[in-house]
Amino acid sequence: MSTAAAVPSPLAILEDKPLVEDVRKLSRLSNGLAVLIIARQWLTIAAVVAVAVYFDRWWLYIPAAAIIAAKQQALGIIMHDATHYRLFTARWANEYISNFFCAFPLGMSTQGYRGEHLEHHLATNTPEDPYYRMFQSNTMWQWPKTRWQAFRQLLGDVSGWHSLSNMKVLRRWMPINQYLLHRNDPKLARRVKIDVLCSITFWATMVTLFSYFGVWKYFLLLWVVPNATFYVLFMRIRWIAEHPYDQQADVSDSTRHVRGTWLERYTIAPLNINYHIAHHLFPAVPLYNLPRVHERLLQNDVYREHGELFHDYLGKADSIRAELVVR
């Protein structure tokens, strides 16, 4: 249950030495689990595509798009772990596997996302936070809203009406944009050049395969359309729920945990990204161990009594919706 009291400084939690020691153990990476998680997303996508193409009924493309969009969300969250170098133990595997199997299919790069995201962690919900500045300058990201405003916003998301506006947000993490921003930076220029070349290689290969097999129709219906509709809807709800971007807040009380229903955890917040306080307190913990960190944190009085903990995203009782939608 969310409380009115502000969360004390994270240092109060970090002073719990047994907790910190337990979290250190949970920060160990498993290359096998990382491969399994990535494979599971793509196997689900492949199965959904196979069913949709085999039956080829217009109405079947709607649930297919929703499931694929949820898996696109999951790929982005896997990339997010790679952003923190928490996907594979080998740095090259962390970067290249994340790029080719997660970031590039979404039009982004791991390195491109990393810069702003790490700044977000260092200065969450303050003017130094690039996400905070972005949300403050864009009315689509300014919440809470009235019920009618929220309905229009989310309807525009799922209908694809806001896809171009969303692209303006996401393009900042595209490889080519990162190259234009950092081409004169000796520390990043080589890295972003490699990302651009790898991204071009990836999409040139995809275009060749789509053309050779004549599957452009299915690429558009089962990748582009889900990304422009349900993906935008799911991402919007998750992002506005993670932090109270309507106000400046110290890092100590600027992050929320939402347990979520099983459907919300599948679509809005897959792969434990809903354990967001645990992630911000301990970003070295890989996604598959965040539930265990949360359970351990519940033994800490500060976290249990003052944490912004919610039951679900869209329900009526103890829901984050009450924080985001006003009468």
Yes or no: say if 221 and 61 are a contact pair by the CB < 8 Å rule. yes
User: What pLDDT does residue 138 have?
Assistant: 86
Chain mean position to CA 124: 16
Residue 270 lies in a domain: yes
Residue 214 lies in a domain: no
Yes or no: say if 2 and 309 are a contact pair by the CB < 8 Å rule. yes
* C-beta atoms surrounding 261 within 10 Å: 16
User: What pLDDT does residue 5 have?
Assistant: 45
Question: Quick one: which of 293, 263, 261 has its CA closest to 276?
Answer: 293
Counting DSSP H helices and E strands in the chain, the numbers are 19, 4
And the tokens for 95? 């970067």
Host domain of residue 61 = 10-166+222-326
> Based on the structure, what is the number of domains in the chain?
1
Handedness of CA 221, 223, 228, 232 (dihedral sign): positive
Residue 199 lies in a domain: no
User: What pLDDT does residue 4 have?
Assistant: 42
| Length of the chain in terms of residues written | 327
- From first to last of its 327 residues, what are the pLDDT tens digits of the chain? 444 444 456 667 878 899 999 999 999 999 999 999 999 999 999 999 999 999 999 999 999 999 999 999 999 999 999 999 999 999 999 999 999 999 999 999 999 999 899 999 998 888 899 999 988 888 888 899 999 999 999 999 999 998 888 888 888 889 888 888 878 877 777 888 899 999 999 999 999 999 999 999 999 999 999 999 999 999 999 999 999 876 665 544 689 999 999 999 999 999 999 999 999 999 999 999 999 999 999 999 888 888 889 999 999 888 999 889 987
Q: What's the rounded Cα separation, in Å, for the pair 292 and 297?
A: 9
Yes or no: say if 79 and 108 are a contact pair by the CB < 8 Å rule. yes
User: What pLDDT does residue 47 have?
Assistant: 98
Residue 215 lies in a domain: no
Q: What's the rounded Cα separation, in Å, for the pair 2 and 262?
A: 20
Residue 287 lies in a domain: yes
Sequence-separated (6 or more) residues with CB below 8 Å from residue 100: 198, 202
Q: What's the rounded Cα separation, in Å, for the pair 146 and 151?
A: 8
Phi first, then psi, for residue 135 (nearest 5°) are -70, -35
Q: What's the rounded Cα separation, in Å, for the pair 320 and 56?
A: 38
Residue 23 lies in a domain: yes
Residue 194 burial by CB count (10 A; 0-12/13-18/19+): exposed, middle or buried? middle
First to last CA, the chain: 21
Q: What's the rounded Cα separation, in Å, for the pair 244 and 144?
A: 9
Residue 189 lies in a domain: no
Q: Indicate the pTM of the whole model.
A: 0.93
User: What pLDDT does residue 188 have?
Assistant: 76
Residue 198 lies in a domain: no
User: What pLDDT does residue 2 have?
Assistant: 45
Question: Cis peptide leading into 144, omega within 30 of 0?
Answer: yes
